[in-house]
Every structure is written in C-alpha cells, then in structure tokens.
Amino acid sequence: MAAARPSLGRVFPGSSILFLCDMQEKFRHKIAYFPQIVSVAARMLRVARLLEVPVMLTEQYPQGLGPTVPELGAEGLQPLSKTCFSMVPALRQELDSRPQLESVLLCGIEAQACILNTTLDLLDRGLQVHVVVDACSSRSQVDRLVALARMRQSGAFLSTSEGLILQLVGDAANPKFKEIQKLIKEPAPDSGLLGLFQGQNPLLH
C-alpha cells in the first residue's frame, strides 16, 4: 500500500482565511520589531482584500491592552475580544461556518503565546496553518525562535509574506496581479529573522 502523500501546503484564495492576532497599542514598545511586524501584516491584509480572502481580527483584553494599532489598516474589520491565549475559541463559529476552509494564514503576537496556541488549535481541527514568519514576533527573540520551531514540529508551515502572497495570486495573468505587484515591489522590512535562521540552528532543522 502506497504511503500517504504529505501535504504540500498549497494555498488558494477560495479555501484560505487570514487571521490577525492582537496587534494592539500596549504591545507597541514591548514586542521586538513591532513596526516591521505590523507593516507586513498590513501588506497581507491589503492582499487579502484584493483577492477576497476573508480576514478575522482579535484583540487580547482590549480594556487593558488597548485597541488594534491604526497602521495595520484594519478599518472595517470588527475585532473580536478575547482573554484566551488562542484565537480559536473566539472564532469557532466563524470556522464552523466555512466547510470549504483548508488553510489559515496567521500573523500577529506573541509567537510563544497566542500564535502557538492558535496554531495547535487549528491543527487539531485538521486545518493547514501557515505562520507568516515576518509578521509574527515576541518580546523575547528566544521565545520567538523556539515557538517557530515548536509550530513547525507540530505540522505548521513557516512561510514568508511574499511567498504566501505569490501562492495566493498564482499567475501573473491574475487581474489583481498588477496591484499586488506594487505592494511587494519593495522587500518586506527586516524583522530579525536572519539572526534566527542563520547558521546550523538545530531548532529549525
């Protein structure tokens, strides 16, 4: 009997959703590379809107941690408030209403907390998770590195924003490609990933 073919992690607009996790005011000066992370997440949001990929936004205890930062560009999205260190309980009804859903693209903070637990909960539901590594961070870069490794060990895909964007577009003949090309003309800002991935890092092998 042939072995089951491993998932290739392909993403398509019609079966994907973008999750934006907890990019709030009180984290602005505490999260490493916060402006860069938000900038990349904003790029993912603009692409999702162009390709009609659904988007969900959460805020962790907004009474204490403040609203979503304006530079994310999330106007028009209704944030869901939560206290759980996972987006899934707050979004369970949304997930249940989308039987065609296969892939979740995940951006936000913190990697070792809400991003990790959201990933595990989504994998437990049988969904593919694509962690947008240049749109996720933590206060501690050790926590960020180990969380990325942990998610990969559990079956999530680690992807860059541009890699996912080009998968979603699929073809330069896509009528939205010219608009999206303008968004990715400049490389995503550096968020310290080279320092995490360089060399023979055993956590990411």
Q: What is the mean pLDDT of residues 161-178?
A: 97
**What is the C-alpha separation between 15 and 165, in angstroms, rounded?**
14
Say whether 82 is catalytic.
Answer: yes
pLDDT at 1: 47
Say whether 114 is catalytic.
Answer: yes
> What are 14-57's pLDDT values in tens digits?
999 999 999 999 999 999 999 999 999 999 999 999 999 999 99
Q: Which of the following is catalytic: 114, 121, 134, 136?
A: 114
Question: For the chain, first and last CA: distance in Å?
Answer: 29
Going from the C-alpha of 60 to that of each of 68, 86, 106, 115, the distances in angstroms are 10, 9, 16, 12
The DSSP result for 37-99, as a single string, is HHHHHHHHHHHHHHTT--EEEEEESHHHH-PBPGGG--TT--PEEE-SSSSHHHHHHHHHT-T
Q: 168: Cβ–Cβ under 8 A, 6 or more apart, which residues?
A: 11, 12, 13, 16, 47, 51, 53
Q: Give the mean pLDDT of the chain.
A: 93
Tokens 């998968």 locate to 167
**What is the C-alpha separation between 58 and 142, in angstroms, rounded?**
24
Name the pTM for this structure.
0.94
Q: What is the mean pLDDT of residues 166-184?
A: 96
Q: Which of the following is catalytic: 82, 107, 121, 134?
A: 82
16-172+182-187: which CATH topology? Rossmann fold (3.40.50)
Q: Which of the following is catalytic: 21, 22, 134, 136?
A: 22
Give the DSSP letter of residue 115. Answer: I
Say whether 171 is catalytic.
Answer: no
3-state secondary structure of 180: helix
* Domain extents in the chain: 16-172+182-187
| Strands 103-109 and 16-21, bridge-based pairing | parallel
pLDDT at 202: 56
List the alpha helices (DSSP H) in 5-33. none
